[in-house]
Structure 1
Amino acid sequence: MGYGTEKLMEEKVFKDPVHRYVHVRDRVIWDLVGTKEFQRLRRIKQLGTTYLTFHGAEHSRFSHSLGVYEIIRRIIDDVFKGRPEWNEEERLVSLCAGLLHDLGHGPFSHSFEKVFDLDHEEFTQKIILGDTEVNAVLMKVGADFPKKVAEVIAKTYSNKQVVSLISSQIDADRMDYLQRDAYYTGVSYGHFDMERILRVMRPREDQVVIKQSGMHAVEDYIMSRYQMYWQVYFHPVSRSAEVILTKILHRAKHLHEKYYSFKQHPIHFYSLFEDETTLEDYLKLDESIILYYFQMWQEEEDSILSDLCRRFMNRNLFQYVEFDPAKEYKKMAELSLLFKKAGIDPDYYLVVDSSSDLPYDFYRPGEEEERLPIQLLMKNNEIRELSRESAIVDAISGKRRTDHKLYFPADFLSDYTSKKNVKKQIQALLDR
């Protein structure tokens, strides 16, 4: 018996609020969970700054990754097993890719990536292929096994069936985070009938399809996703916190470039500031490190950095108004000028933030972020794209919704009493 097929003497389980239990019998999976790179995910929140809006949203990438693994395990072991269209030899690479798919996320994830021009999927692959404990475990399966797992993450793996389990418009990743995020935020939007969807999934060449009888469960899933994005993920208060977080990092980088003398030197950020981030540097970063600096930077002499850090740590967030960049670009220029007159730096205190989502799309070859559609397996064995059969999905297919907000510190406007005339002009523009 090789390491890749070795089973634990006794099944291990993780108690989970979403799936009740996460079952582990494979030695490889158990060993991967125990690596320091995977344990680091306990210190990365799944929803970034959302805990400042929904106080229960403290769950981690660690619990989400276990959830994705469990969904894939159930699909493979309970639904696909024994079906001629499924190659059982792909089981372990699918499980490992599901477990490790978020391994490269940094602190506060997407906000962090934008500031420092990073890609968590690239770092996931570097961790899998680099000098890490994760790589050492995967190498015990076979010399080419880490490469296979990394290819699934990169969506370049030869078996597209496996890729679609982890990355498609109805995959294990989305099915877990919708339910998990709904549970921890306390909302009802993200709930759908996953049990039904799992029962009607079928392996086909190059992807996973859904039996026609499960179409309504998939419609419910897509609408749940749509509601979660607009009610939770794009919540304007969470976005306000992200704006401040982003501006703190931008300010710290700017001060470093100007040779500012920090009271608390940002040693963990130096490689990021210099665009020379190594894998070793990256793995030292988690949210406890970031919050430590924010806590200490409240005492910095730079008034912008200290103010922004106080705002983030004490949840004194920016206010917002609706904003249409196409129609109101002149207003933005006027506001910037008035902010400067009031002694408020518009680069840090006047911010337009945009959120955009495409709830479902059919296949658009050659376009950026190509999306494989959800395919239905009809009773006559024909394959039909979902929106051709569902009027609900057809109504939203290919329709991108975008929302723009203008963020600013309302308390600053009331504090600048010596600039009353300017303050009135700013308020008039904001109210217009």
Structure 2
Amino acid sequence: MSIRLTEEKVFKDPVHRYIHVQDKLLWDLIGTSEFQRLRRVRQLGTTSFTFHGAEHSRFNHSLGVYEIMRRLITNFSDKPMWNDEDRLLALSAALLHDIGHGPFSHSFEKVFDTDHEEWTRLIILGDTEVNDVLRHVHADFPKEVAAVIEKTSANKLVTSMISSQIDADRMDYLLRDAYYTGVSYGQFDLERILRVMRPMGDQVVVKASGMHAVEDYIMSRYQMYWQVYFHPVTRSSEVILSKILKRVKVLHEEGYPFKQPPHHFESIFSNAMTIEDYLQLDESVMHYYFQCWQKEEDPILEDLCHRFLNRRLFAYVECHPNERLTDIMALQELFWEAGMDPDYYLEMDSSSDLPYDVYRPGEEQRVPIQLLMKNGQLKELSSESDVVESISGKKRTDHKLYYPADTIATLDPTIRLKIESILEQM
């Protein structure tokens, strides 16, 4: 049962103008310490090294996803296939879908083998303020919300509204990330798309008259991934960040005497991290350690932290790992000879994206976007759109080799010229 606030609360938002909160449940969830922590976790990690305006947080984005979901539900309210009893479930899942993200999300997850989706589940179901608020609806409500976010819910319609190839999550992050990075690639007609979306069975479909707006959305996503999310400068900063975390982990295992011990990481090093431990980690904590570790005796950790904080990033060359394996191995040997550990100063990084796909038997299921034709039939988007068909199912992959050009420039000419010669041939 929904308890409405006596007075609607609003957040001024640069993307959606206003974010409207009308339910006590949602207002209480926003006020929890777990949700407020998202103010201290940036949405785009290290992207601000490339696009300096990209300082927005997971808090911003989560509110935006909630607002798109709220507006979508408002449009659905008079549609026969929408059950308004699902309203709080959909809004809660939209608001909380990213609550398990850690600092510098993907770099952190890669090094420490964590999963933000699993932490989202643990936070929602654990002994937390969020869980306490959700249980005010009913005892099983936290499980229902977690199941929607995990995509294991029997309510496939609500799940598709937050996790599909056209959902509230993607629509907000494209618009929001485009706004804060200052690029135009992620722009599309949100108002038009929301007006033509319809609930039907287990998923949301789009009226055929809105196909061109959806084409624009798909192409916006494609451009954002290659122009913003996979930008090589951003990837370089992520490489250095990952190497810092890797070095700290190795030093801890070796018993290195830190001047500033990694207290906040000790439980994760011992595979005993609790929800309380995890929630204490945010990007302000990480930056504090990076500042301190600039003064460590370990030259690798000191250098990597200095690079990260002062934007002394690695250079890169295009390099396909399978085609250049011999060259990469030769570089590793030369790096060792020059006193540079290639485990920290030579990194092959690959990025790939599949902008749109259809379901193929025997493969991971990807629910396609369905168009609702005038005669009531459904047709898969790429079968009607030449634009989407041209990129459907086409996975694009990019490979780059990162290295410290500034350090190489200071090496003995004999080694330096050998290294530069190999890099120039890639």
| Shared fold, TM over 0.5 | yes
Name which of 47, 71, 74 aligns with 1:74: 71
Q: Which amino acid aligns with 2:406?
A: D
Match in the other structure for 1:6 = 3
Match in the other structure for 2:119 = 123
Name which of 173, 188, 195 aligns with 2:191: 195
Structure 1 distance, partners of 2:47, 2:268, is 24
Matched, 1:376 2:367: no
Structure 2 distance, partners of 1:155, 1:225, is 22
The aligned runs of 1:211-226 (5 Å cut-off) are 211-226=207-222
Structure 1 distance, partners of 2:307, 2:423, is 21
Match in the other structure for 1:282 = 278
Structure 1 distance, partners of 2:295, 2:362, is 50
Match in the other structure for 1:205 = 201
Structure 2 distance, partners of 1:192, 1:5, is 33
The aligned runs of 1:172-187 (5 Å cut-off) are 172-187=168-183
Length, aligned pairs only? 425
**4+ aligned runs moved over 2 Å, structure 1:** 364-368
Structure 1 distance, partners of 2:285, 2:362, is 40
Match in the other structure for 1:48 = 45
Match in the other structure for 2:230 = 234
Superposed displacement of residue 275, structure 1:
2.2
Matched, 1:399 2:391: no
Superposed displacement of residue 182, structure 1:
0.3
Deviation sequence 1:105-132 (CA, Å, 0-9, x none): 0000111111111110111111110000
Structure 1 distance, partners of 2:293, 2:138, is 47
Structure 2 distance, partners of 1:18, 1:157, is 30
Name which of 246, 251, 255 aligns with 1:255: 251
Q: Which amino acid aligns with 1:136?
A: D
Q: Which amino acid aligns with 2:184?
A: S
* CA RMSD, Structure 1 to Structure 2 (Å): 0.7
Query: Which secondary structure does the structure 1 equivalent of 2:359 belong to?
Result: coil
Superposed displacement of residue 365, structure 1:
4.3
Query: Which secondary structure does the structure 1 equivalent of 2:316 belong to?
Result: strand
Residues 267 and 12 of structure 1: is their aligned pair in 2 closer, same or farther, counting only changes over 3 Å? same
Match in the other structure for 2:323 = 327
TM-score, length of structure 1 as denominator length: 0.98
Q: Which amino acid aligns with 1:231?
A: Q
Match in the other structure for 1:244 = 240
Superposed displacement of residue 366, structure 1:
4.5
Query: Which secondary structure does the structure 1 equivalent of 2:322 belong to?
Result: helix
Q: Which amino acid aligns with 1:412?
A: T
Structure 1 distance, partners of 2:217, 2:223, is 10
Name which of 12, 15, 38 aligns with 1:15: 12
Structure 2 distance, partners of 1:401, 1:73, is 34
Query: Which secondary structure does the structure 1 equivalent of 2:295 belong to?
Result: coil
Matched, 1:344 2:336: no
Structure 1 distance, partners of 2:368, 2:103, is 31
Query: Which secondary structure does the structure 1 equivalent of 2:25 belong to?
Result: helix
Matched, 1:414 2:399: no
TM-score, length of structure 2 as denominator length: 0.99
Contiguous gaps of at least 5 residues in structure 1 = none
Deviation sequence 1:85-114 (CA, Å, 0-9, x none): 011100000000000000000000111111
Match in the other structure for 1:90 = 86
Name which of 46, 59, 67 aligns with 1:62: 59
Superposed displacement of residue 363, structure 1:
1.2
Contiguous gaps of at least 5 residues in structure 2 = none
The percent identity for this pair of structures is 68
Query: Which secondary structure does the structure 2 equivalent of 1:15 belong to?
Result: strand
Matched, 1:140 2:136: yes
Name which of 154, 159, 163 aligns with 1:158: 154
